Amino acid sequence: MHNICRTQSYCMNHFLLSFLHEVFLLVLCQYLQEWHSGPPKRPKTAPTENQVAAQRRFLLASQYAKNILQYPDMLAAYTARSRDGLSPYILAMPDWLNCEAITNTPRK
């Protein structure tokens, strides 16, 4: 009786376990390759003029937002406007980015 039970069920179980083992190893290898390769590589081309302009505008907006934290009057004004947990720094960024005099384009 022991040999009879081992033949069919043992073969089927062994087949299923080996199949699942192979699938697991395949998925694990793919995951490790993606994880090991790191973040996507940046393109080797130079940034376009529009990208450089956007980076410059964002840098200036960031500097403006950092500077308002140094002036108590400005900080108080932005703190009064803060809502939903937004910091004065976060509120100052769009003020710089959307300013007509800075962007040279009228607001819509």
102 contact partners, CB below 8 Å, separation of at least 6 = 57, 60, 96
Q: What is the pLDDT of residues 38-75, one digit of tens each?
A: 666 777 888 899 999 999 999 999 999 999 889 999 89
Q: Please give the residue that has the higher pLDDT: either 66 or 17.
A: 66
User: For 48, which DSSP code?
Assistant: P
- What's the confidence (pLDDT) of residue 108? 45
